């Protein structure tokens, strides 16, 4: 749906060209955008990636490196390259992108790369490396356009043109005083539109959002999204301008955060790389499965305590699977809705209370309806009305607990400052399993024996 | 972490002021940004929202309306307002925002609102209402800056200034020929930087992404994210410029799509409103629970067919809960990683095959490790080595199936053009339940009786 697109034919053409000489490969590659070559890299071997990067103009090569997904490890590609070419590429990168990539390397590797750079670039990147990657400092770029408050329109335009030689993209012009303290923003459009040679002070917008370098990256994303701004200034504690975070970084953050949420809620470590190998996957998931095993032993202990009942009425074990399955799924439903709601909105205490009440009602109704179906089934297939009543009560009670815990546990976690998404299905289904079995088997022991 | 922020004290202060007179309330409100008032509205009643909107300047009021989250129903608020005020607000809205809101109303309500508008605005909005809201047409704004190819630098700047009177924010200047056919983009910066009075043709960037009005909104988001652009042009089939989609719309789309993914994977209808009431929640979730009940009957039929075995060895039912719980969770893990990976990357056939192979290996290892733990447990607590061996085999086999189906089913769905996220935990756990019980109870019948 656009003028150029990387499809399977493109990929296989380039793969074929990789078997031939550099001249033809170069010509072929010149037809693609850097971000497309970055996508192509996902299906190429490291040596082929290196060869392609060497063929590209250094400007394009650095764009490719910065567009490569974290999971395809641009830092390893850089490390493998000839130091001279590597230095050229790193010097061409935006500081924030260079920092992101270099931060993935071992300290001695970082030193090696930084040692080759010109002093100015190395200093900027060293400074950025000190910030936590989950903060505004870790996201920010130290290249931006900033002009002094007292400039005239003519001086301002000259200054912007001068600074924009080094900065390819800018969306907002930051205004500072002589101590580099942030004073507000102006837009290029407003400067040009203004009549006469007025001072920048007269065009200043001061009512703008800003962040500190230690502000959490999710908060940065929330502000950029809330105020629909292309970039947000990062200020130190004396309000001096340190850098800016731009909307494209925020889009990347949102994708990462959403991946983490889906993984956490499903009992997968948030650090698992989606395209990682089986070793990483086992490392990420086995600990959660062992926790789950612990909680499963708990549920099985409940069952064990009713062993004599089951020995007499073995069909109960068939109903147990229904109770456990339904409770787990109803809890996962309540959990998903609540976790997502917490991550998009700040809930007041009253709203939190109402949410639990709502899930209580939903659980009660869904439990009663599905319980009724199973009741009818028990009468038809087991010709046992009392068994049907027990199943009905167990199903209703279990789905009610599923709703209350599915909504309540993430809300409580949020309140005490723990990430609500770790209330994964693994934790929640323990409650429904234990409670559901107690209800079903307890009632059966009392009423059927 | 910014100069102004809506906290609990603000909300309660405004709520207090709502009990008093308009004068004080107005002064208080003037301290807040439109997007903050939109957030405040989430905890206010409809009448209070209307009162506040009436007090605000029409410019701010329309910003509040456009910033209100879909789930707080700005269209109902508009409908409730006095027609005169309402018309003022709608005329002030951007066309895309007005269209989004009006599209939520019944046809006769739409007609009423559109009938009050000036003819120009009504025509624009009527046109936009014809596009599906899940497409570029549904997202696009028909207000943008466009200049003719043949203009000189001086004419271009004058034209941009003239057009920017009506358009508050623009990031890119679109260039068209005399038939309004899209030719490329220029940046204001490049126009200003250019020396002498050159023609726009000389500054044109033609190598840019664009979409058709029917392009899916997720594809639009992917392009804006991939090329780091602030806006993308929407072209009709003769390549005439229809409008633009901007990055802030894409951020909203990403949030919605991610919510839908989390809900679908957890067996909740993607249309459920996170803050909807219990009636909506029951409507959205009960159908899935009934599907789940069907699959649970399937698993319970397997158990039922082994009733005599369970009657003799009732402790098997305690192990059944462990097998079912572990299989379900391992499958959910594989599912979450795979669904998320599919939604972020285009996987080749080879990569898809490798993914299933990886999950096979992960399932085998995680199954063997956790199976070994349960084996030791069975020897200690049930003093039955054969039972231990059976559990070990059932656990390993079940987690292997969990991995293969958790990864394989969404990949197959994607291949045949079905949204992979509907391969929810509900569907996947059927496989692990049925297969796990067959393995455990089948082996037990053969080897323990």
What pLDDT score was predicted for residue A237? 93
Question: Which residue has tokens 């309000």?
Answer: A239
A424-436: pLDDT as tens digits: 788 888 889 999 9
Residues from chain A contacting residue B365 (CB–CB below 8 Å): 278, 282, 286
- List the 21-80 stretch of A: residues with Cβ below 8 A of B: 33, 35, 39, 42-43, 67, 69
Q: Is A339 on the interface with B (CB under 8 A)?
A: yes
Mean pLDDT of chain B: 89
Residues from chain A contacting residue B315 (CB–CB below 8 Å): 304, 307
What pLDDT score was predicted for residue B213? 94
Asked if B226 and A35 come within 8 Å (Cβ–Cβ), the reply is yes
Q: Is A253 on the interface with B (CB under 8 A)?
A: no
Pairing of strands A173-176, A146-148: parallel
Per the CB < 8 A criterion, the answer to whether B265 and B248 are in contact is no
B313-337: pLDDT as tens digits: 999 999 999 999 999 999 999 999 9
Reported confidence tier of residue B262, pLDDT bands at 50, 70, 90: confident
Asked if B322 and A211 come within 8 Å (Cβ–Cβ), the reply is no
A16-45: pLDDT as tens digits: 888 988 989 998 888 888 888 988 888 888
- List the 260-299 stretch of A: residues with Cβ below 8 A of B: 261-263, 265-268, 272, 274-275, 277-278, 281-282, 285-286, 288-290, 292-293, 295-297, 299
What pLDDT score was predicted for residue A168? 66
Beta bridge partners of B147: B175
A134-177: pLDDT as tens digits: 899 999 988 889 999 989 988 998 888 888 877 767 778 999 99
Say which of B210, B251, B268 has its CB closest to residue A225: B251
Per the CB < 8 A criterion, the answer to whether A247 and A224 are in contact is yes
CA distances from A10 to A31, A43, A344, B195, B206 (A): 10, 12, 39, 39, 21
The segment with the largest mean pLDDT, out of B93-97, B336-340, B399-403, is B399-403
- CATH fold, domain B278-448, is Tetracycline Repressor; domain 2 (1.10.357)
Min Cα distance A327 → chain B (Å) is 10
Beta bridge partners of B55: none
Percentage above 90 pLDDT, chain A: 52
Average pLDDT over residues A300-311: 94
Q: Which CATH architecture has domain B8-130?
A: Alpha Horseshoe (1.25)
Per the CB < 8 A criterion, the answer to whether A367 and A396 are in contact is yes
Predicted ipTM of the assembly = 0.79
Q: Is A7 on the interface with B (CB under 8 A)?
A: no
Nearest CA to A224 among B267, B392, B254, B211?
B254
Does B436 score more than 70 pLDDT? yes
A204-230: pLDDT as tens digits: 999 899 999 999 988 898 888 888 888
| Rounded Cα–Cα distance for residues B411 and B418 (Å) | 10
Q: Is A415 on the interface with B (CB under 8 A)?
A: no
Beta bridge partners of A243: A234
What pLDDT score was predicted for residue B398? 96
Average pLDDT over residues B389-410: 96
Reported confidence tier of residue A1, pLDDT bands at 50, 70, 90: very low
Q: Is B380 on the interface with A (CB under 8 A)?
A: no
Other C-beta atoms lying within 10 Å of the C-beta of residue A29: 20
Q: Which residue of A has its CA nearest to B345?
A: A39
Reported confidence tier of residue B2, pLDDT bands at 50, 70, 90: very low
**Reading across the β-sheet that carries B146-148, which strands appear in turn?**
B146-148, B173-176, B182-186
| Rounded Cα–Cα distance for residues A405 and A432 (Å) | 9
What pLDDT score was predicted for residue B6? 67
Min Cα distance B399 → chain A (Å) is 10
Write the CB contacts of A356 (distance below 8 Å, at least 6 apart in sequence): A404, A407, A408, A411
Asked if B304 and A315 come within 8 Å (Cβ–Cβ), the reply is yes
Min Cα distance B59 → chain A (Å) is 15
Average pLDDT over residues B406-410: 94
What pLDDT score was predicted for residue B168? 66
Q: Is B394 on the interface with A (CB under 8 A)?
A: no
A60-114: pLDDT as tens digits: 999 999 888 887 889 999 999 999 999 999 999 988 889 989 988 999 999 999 9
Does B166 score more than 80 pLDDT? no
Reported confidence tier of residue B5, pLDDT bands at 50, 70, 90: low
Does A3 score more than 50 pLDDT? no
Question: CB contacts < 8 Å between A and B, how many?
Answer: 367
Say which of B261, B263, B345 has its CB closest to residue A337: B263
What pLDDT score was predicted for residue A266? 86
| Rounded Cα–Cα distance for residues B278 and B53 (Å) | 29
Reported confidence tier of residue A298, pLDDT bands at 50, 70, 90: very high
Q: Is A440 on the interface with B (CB under 8 A)?
A: no
Write the CB contacts of A403 (distance below 8 Å, at least 6 apart in sequence): A330, A331, A334, A359, A360, A361, A362, A363, A364, A366
Catalogue the long-range contacts made by B83-86 (C-beta closer than 8 Å, 24 or more residues apart).
B83/B112, B83/B116, B85/B53, B85/B54, B85/B58, B85/B61, B86/B113, B86/B116
Residue range(s) of every CATH 3.10.580.10 domain in chain B: 146-246
Per the CB < 8 A criterion, the answer to whether A422 and B325 are in contact is no
B282-298: pLDDT as tens digits: 999 999 999 999 999 99
Q: Which residue of B has its CA nearest to A329?
A: B426
Q: Is A387 on the interface with B (CB under 8 A)?
A: no
How many Cα atoms occupy the beta-carbon half-sphere of B368 within 13 Å? 6
Min Cα distance A119 → chain B (Å) is 29
Does A8 score more than 80 pLDDT? no
B107-132: pLDDT as tens digits: 999 999 999 999 988 998 998 898 98
Say which of A250, A267, A358 has its CB closest to residue B277: A358
Q: Is A110 on the interface with B (CB under 8 A)?
A: no
Asked if B289 and A370 come within 8 Å (Cβ–Cβ), the reply is yes
Reported confidence tier of residue B3, pLDDT bands at 50, 70, 90: very low
Per the CB < 8 A criterion, the answer to whether B63 and B34 are in contact is yes
What pLDDT score was predicted for residue B374? 96
Residue range(s) of every CATH 1.10.357.20 domain in chain A: 278-448
Average pLDDT over residues A347-352: 86
Average pLDDT over residues B379-394: 94
| Rounded Cα–Cα distance for residues B280 and B236 (Å) | 38
Mean pLDDT of chain A: 89
Min Cα distance B143 → chain A (Å) is 16
Catalogue the long-range contacts made by A61-66 (C-beta closer than 8 Å, 24 or more residues apart).
A61/A85, A61/A89, A61/A92, A62/A89, A62/A90, A62/A92, A62/A93, A63/A34, A63/A35, A64/A34, A64/A35, A64/A37, A64/A38, A65/A89, A65/A93, A65/A97, A65/A101, A66/A93, A66/A94, A66/A97, A66/A101
Asked if A292 and B325 come within 8 Å (Cβ–Cβ), the reply is yes
Q: Which residue of A has its CA nearest to B317?
A: A317
The CATH class that applies to domain B146-246 reads alpha beta
Residues from chain B contacting residue A182 (CB–CB below 8 Å): none
């Amino acid at each position: 749906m656009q003028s150029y697109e990387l499809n399977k034919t493109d990929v296989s053409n380039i793969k074929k060209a990789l078997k031939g000489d550099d001249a033809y490969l170069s010509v072929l590659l010149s037809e693609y955008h850097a971000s497309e070559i970055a996508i192509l890299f996902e299906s190429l071997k490291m040596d082929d990636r290196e060869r392609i990067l060497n063929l590209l103009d250094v400007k394009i090569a650095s764009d490719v490196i910065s567009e490569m997904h974290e999971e395809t490890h641009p830092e390893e590609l850089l490390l493998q390259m000839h130091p001279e070419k590597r230095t050229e590429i790193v010097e061409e990168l935006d500081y924030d992108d260079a920092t992101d990539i270099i931060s993935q390397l071992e300290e001695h590797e970082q030193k090696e790369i930084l040692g080759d750079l010109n002093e100015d670039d190395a200093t900027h990147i060293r400074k950025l490396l000190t910030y936590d990657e989950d903060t505004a400092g870790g996201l920010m770029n130290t290249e931006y356009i900033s002009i002094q408050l007292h400039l005239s329109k003519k001086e301002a335009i000259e200054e912007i043109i001068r600074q924009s030689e080094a900065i390819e993209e800018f969306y907002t012009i930051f205004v500072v005083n002589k101590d580099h303290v942030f004073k507000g923003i102006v837009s290029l459009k407003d400067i040009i539109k203004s009549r006469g040679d007025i001072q920048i002070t007269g065009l200043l917008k001061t009512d703008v959002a800003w962040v500190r370098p230690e502000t959490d990256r999710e908060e940065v994303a929330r502000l950029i999204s809330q105020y629909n701004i292309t970039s947000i200034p990062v200020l130190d504690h004396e309000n001096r301008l340190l850098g800016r975070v731009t909307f494209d970084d925020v889009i990347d953050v949102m994708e990462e955060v959403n991946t983490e949420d889906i993984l956490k809620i499903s009992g997968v470590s948030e650090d698992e790389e989606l395209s990682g190998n089986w070793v990483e996957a086992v490392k990420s998931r086995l600990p959660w499965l062992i926790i789950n095993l612990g909680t499963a032993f708990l549920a099985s202990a409940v069952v064990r305590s009713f062993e004599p009942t089951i020995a007499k009425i073995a069909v109960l074990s068939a109903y147990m699977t229904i109770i456990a399955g339904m409770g787990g799924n109803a809890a996962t439903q309540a959990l998903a809705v609540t976790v997502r709601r917490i991550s998009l909105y700040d809930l007041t205490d009253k709203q939190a209370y109402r949410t639990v009440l709502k899930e209580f009602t939903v659980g009660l109704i869904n439990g009663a309806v599905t319980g009724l179906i199973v009741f009818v089934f028990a009468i038809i297939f087991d010709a046992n009305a009392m068994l049907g009543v027990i199943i009905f009560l167990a199903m209703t009670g279990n789905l009610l607990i599923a709703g209350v815990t599915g909504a309540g546990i993430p809300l409580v976690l949020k309140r005490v400052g723990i990430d609500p998404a770790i209330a994964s299905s693994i934790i929640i289904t323990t409650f429904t399993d234990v409670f559901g079995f107690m209800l079903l088997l307890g009632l059966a022991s009392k009423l059927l024996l």
